[in-house]
Amino acid sequence: MIDRLLIDAHVHVHDCYDEAAFLHAAYGNLSRHGPGMPTLLLAEMPGFNTFSRWRSGNAAWPVKLTDEPVSLILGEKLLVIAGRQIVTAERVEVLALLSDQLFDDGQPLDKTITCVRDAGAVALLPWGAGKWSGKRGRLVGEAAVRHSVLLGDSAGRPIGWPAPSIFQRHVVLRGSDPLRMASQQFMVGRYGFALSGAFDIRRPAEGIHGALRLMMQSPPSFGQRVGPIQFLRQQVELRFKHTGLRTRWMKHRT
């Protein structure tokens, strides 16, 4: 049994990462926050099947399987739980935590949340820069109330950026949400939360699911978000990269 988990609730494993460096960073960043088993809740995007590959034994660290299909242990010390990230028709992101099922992008927000729950997954609405303002911000707030879903805070929300007011009324789970840039592979595990209880190492996702279902207030968090200057640099780099990718694609098309 494990009595404490140190969890990063929003993890991407991008294809530009060095997998071994990523795993070392995840374990190191999480384990510095006291006793407990470092844990990653994956949020894989369409086209990414890292968890499936790891479960087949193809990983940078030795793989130990559990008694459930949605969890595994890497290197005898890092717990990994499957999950997916979905983008709705309104361009709102929804995380399907604790699930290895695939979900369709482009469905309405309400339908997406319902599909996630019907699949036995935990639905979470993660914070995103520019995605929780205006019309989409109202959609998120209304859906959070209507469905009583969990909310997610991100290490990418810069220090000084006010927390959304709905954070005061809902359970909020913290996660790193690393970006698709090589430098971000070291950010995993830098922001998260601690979960105490009695977790069976053979069925950890089942225990986490039960704990989250009963949670009435946000769990203790740890780590730190990015500073404003680092945030601006990341946004510029992301936009430059996306522009470059689009330019190369257009040249290829012509």
Is pLDDT at 247 greater than 70 in this prediction? no
Q: What's the CA gap between 100 and 249, in Å, rounded?
A: 31
Residue 242 within a domain:
no
Is pLDDT at 177 greater than 50 in this prediction? yes
Q: Kindly report the number of other CB atoms within 10 A of residue 248's CB atom.
A: 10
Is pLDDT at 43 greater than 90 in this prediction? yes
Residue 237 within a domain:
no
Mean pLDDT to the nearest integer, 171-199: 95
Summary mean pLDDT of the chain:
91
Q: What's the CA gap between 222 and 88, in Å, rounded?
A: 30
Is pLDDT at 213 greater than 80 in this prediction? yes
Query: What confidence score (pLDDT) does residue 188 get?
Result: 97
CATH number for the domain that contains residue 183:
3.20.20.140
Mean pLDDT to the nearest integer, 35-39: 97
Residue 37 within a domain:
yes
Percent of residues, the chain, with pLDDT higher than 70: 93
Is pLDDT at 238 greater than 80 in this prediction? no
Higher-scoring residue by pLDDT: 132, 206: 206
Query: At 133, is the pLDDT very low, low, confident or very high (cuts 50, 70, 90)?
Result: confident
Query: What confidence score (pLDDT) does residue 240 get?
Result: 67
Is pLDDT at 120 greater than 60 in this prediction? yes
Q: Which residues contact 157 (CB under 8 A, 6 or more apart)?
A: 127, 129, 163, 225, 226
Helix segments in the chain, DSSP class H: 19-31, 50-55, 109-118, 134-147, 204-214, 228-253
Q: What's the CA gap between 129 and 210, in Å, rounded?
A: 30
Domain residues for the domain of 103 are 2-226
**Global model pTM greater than 0.85:** yes
Query: What confidence score (pLDDT) does residue 242 get?
Result: 52
Is pLDDT at 67 greater than 70 in this prediction? yes
Query: At 19, is the pLDDT very low, low, confident or very high (cuts 50, 70, 90)?
Result: very high
Is pLDDT at 252 greater than 50 in this prediction? no
Query: What confidence score (pLDDT) does residue 245 get?
Result: 41
Q: What's the CA gap between 72 and 228, in Å, rounded?
A: 36
Query: What confidence score (pLDDT) does residue 137 get?
Result: 87
Q: Are 119 and 102 in contact (CB under 8 A)?
A: no
Residue 140 within a domain:
yes
Query: At 254, is the pLDDT very low, low, confident or very high (cuts 50, 70, 90)?
Result: very low
Q: Identify any residues that bridge with 91 across adjacent strands, giving them in sequence order.
A: none
Residue 134 within a domain:
yes
Query: Which structure tokens are listed for 223?
Result: 């780590």
Q: Are 153 and 172 in contact (CB under 8 A)?
A: yes
- Residue 127 has φ and ψ, to the nearest 5°, of -65, 145
What domain count does the chain have?
Answer: 1
Mean pLDDT to the nearest integer, 191-220: 96
Residue 18 within a domain:
yes
Query: What confidence score (pLDDT) does residue 94 get?
Result: 97
